[in-house]
Structure 1
Amino acid sequence: MRNTTFLLPIVVLIAVGVLSSLFIVDEREKVLVLRFGQIKQEITEPGLGFKVPLLDEVVRYEDRILSVETDLIEVTPADERRLEVDAFVLYRIANIRQFRQALGAGGEREAAVQLQGILNSQIRTVLGSRGVTSNTILSPERSALMNLIRDQANSRASALGLSIVDVRLRQTNLPLQNFDATLQRMIAERDREATDERARGREAAQRVTAQADRTYEEILSEARRDARIIEGEADAERNRIFAEAYGQDAEFFEFYRSLTAYENSLKGANSTMVMSPDSEFFNYLQSDTGRASE
């Protein structure tokens, strides 16, 4: 009984010592084991870890993707149209040993401060570089600019043991004091573009009209030429037919021509002719035989 009473505290102390030397590493985190502030162990895989009780300290860091939002900053693109921009960054702790050595005990809070400074600097550098205008920032090229900011910021953040996953520009606004002036300038630019576009449209319309007029004259000229050719061929054919008919029966041909002349001259209800009855025009009207009178 006395031995049991004596051994029980020892067993308890041993159990407490064993339990205090064990710790669990979650799959969502990475762990550093420190002894008097010096890194003794780095654990990046989930599982069970060991430490020396009372001497070692376990410091846990997130292995998941973290985010930081920047403050609203003012940038001046190449077209001198000032903009207010803010962004957010997604990052993760890539090297916890380097992260600890660079930022000390500040951890993620100090990392957020450092990242804000890096991002603000790179946003001003990229968006203020030559050839980048406010229209570029607001166009589909915005994605390429964000990727450039991410790459340049990542090269600086890597010295802190951080890896930047993505950078996104959120707001891109005009300062209130510049809004009206910028709006009026944009309206003037759009009016100028509309005027230029209308002038180009009128010029194109004149070219099309001139081409249409020229084509019309060419077609009309060709049609008139073809009509004269057809008329000439028709006259020639008519004359040939007349000549052929005259050759077959000259007397009948003369009679037919007289009837045609009578018809053409006496058209209308009130047609009147004043001619001598002895005129050759009435030879067939005066004849009983249907032949011209002598």
Structure 2
Amino acid sequence: MNQARLIGVTIALGVAVFLGTRCVYIVREAQQALLLQFGEIRKVDQKPGLFLKFPEPFQNVVYIENRLIPLQTPELEITDSLQRRFVVDAVARWRVTDTKRFYQAVGGNIPAAGARIEPILSASIRRIIGQRPFNEVLAERRAEIMKEIEDQAIPQIRALGIELVDVRIRRADQPDEISSRTYERMRSDRQREATDLRARGQEEARRIKSEAENQAVVLRADAQRQSEIRRGEGESLRNKTFADAFSKDPDFFVFYRSMRAYETSLQGKDTSYVLSPRSDFFRFFENPGLSEKPAN
């Protein structure tokens, strides 16, 4: 009898534990919960905690993320106001603020919500950016453009029970084929500039070289002229000095000139002269006192 009672108590406890786990649900910090009764929303729990419910199939719970959820748009090819094509992609952050409406719109499914948000956001990006030139998207009015995209997309996204927190343009660039053509054009322009600069440099080098050669010719001519002038002045001074010396002492002058002639002509070690001993050239060797030519 006691054993049967123990078995009964055990079974009762097991059923109680089973029913207890089926009658409570936990909402965590990063979650919201919808309590459904036969598919109809009975309660929304947006705060964390432990809550009671009837066991399934009477009531069941759907959990929904309460955190910021990122969304990246695909690459969008857009034509700007100047009819230039470029590629843009953006990153957005959103979260569920109206849990009931979110469940009714997309069944509480996060990927399905992203699929609904993406075309709304892409259409806003195309519309807003397409009205402006490309350089404004790059820097000048980027913050203002992102704000306009948010303002245009928010009403449609809010209808899904979603708050669009912010939108950021991640990349704005020209398509690859346009970038390649632009790069080739820029490279050609730089090569043309380099060729032009090189040609101008060579022309300038030739001009400077020509001017330097002309200056060198002028300087050499001037130096030659100055040299001739100085040489003439020196010879004139030398002749004047000789003339003065001759007029003061003709005998000494003749002697001096003869000694200079001997010194100059007899410098070589192997110098030979075939002259008559009575030659006028050697008159000072016979008689240093002579200053006149010997009589024939």
The amino acid of 2:39's aligned partner reads G
- The answer for the alignment partner of 1:144 in structure 2 is 144
Tell me the CA shift for residue 91 of structure 1: 0.5
- 1:37-48 residue pairs with structure 2 within 5 A? 37-48=39-50
Q: Aligned with 1:78: secondary structure?
A: coil
C-alpha separation in 1, matches of 2:82 and 2:32: 47
Which residue among 66, 87, 90 is the counterpart of 2:69? 66
Letter in 2 for 1:90: R
1:174-193 matches, within 5 Å, as 174-180=174-180, 182=182, 184=185
Q: Which residue does the alignment assign to 1:196?
A: none
Aligned to 2:25: 23
The 1:13–1:137 alpha-carbon spacing in structure 2 relative to 1, beyond 3 Å, is: same
Counting only pairs closer than 5 Å after superposition, residues 1-294 of structure 1 correspond to structure 2 as: 1=2, 2-54=4-56, 55-104=58-107, 107-129=109-131, 132-180=132-180, 182=182, 184=185
Cα distance in 1 for partners of 2:52, 2:148 equals 43
Secondary structure of the 1:99 match is helix
- 1:80 counterpart letter in structure 2: Q
TM-score (norm 1): 0.59
TM-score by length of 2: 0.59
8 Å contact kept, 1:91–1:163: yes
Aligned mates of 2:126, 2:59 — CA distance in 1: 44
How many residue pairs get matched? 185
Higher CA-based Rg: 2
**1: CA distance, partners of 2:12 / 2:96:** 42
Answer whether contact 1:77 1:128 (CA < 8 A) is retained.
Answer: yes
Structure 1: 4+ residue segments shifted above 4 A: 180-185
Runs of 5+ in structure 1 lacking a partner?
A: 189-294
RMSD over aligned Cα atoms: 2.0
User: Amino acid of the residue matched to residue 69 of structure 1?
Assistant: Q
Per-residue CA deviations over 1:122-161 (Å, capped at 9, x if unaligned) read 00010012xx100111123111101111121111100000
* CA contact 1:82–1:175 (8 Å) conserved in 2: yes
Quote the Cα distance in structure 2 between the aligned partners of 1:42 and 1:29.
11
Indicate the SS of the match to 2:107: helix
Q: Which runs of 5+ in 2 are unaligned?
A: 190-296
Amino acid corresponding to residue 77 of structure 1 in structure 2:
D
Q: Identity percentage over the alignment?
A: 29
Q: Which whole-Å CA distance do the structure 1 matches of 2:5 and 2:94 have between them?
A: 58
Separation of aligned partners in 2, 1:145 and 1:182: 26
The question of whether the paired residues in 2 share the 8 Å contact of 1:66 and 1:92 is answered with yes
Deviations for 1:50-84, whole angstroms, at most 9, x for unmatched residues?
A: 12111222111111111011100111110111110
Q: Deviations over 1:138-195 (max 9, x none)?
A: 123111101111121111100000001110011111112323555649x99xxxxxxx
Give me the whole-angstrom Cα distance separating, in 1, the residues matched to 2:67 and 2:107: 20
Residues 78 and 128 in structure 1, CA contact (< 8 A), matched pair in contact too: yes
1:5 deviates by 2.4
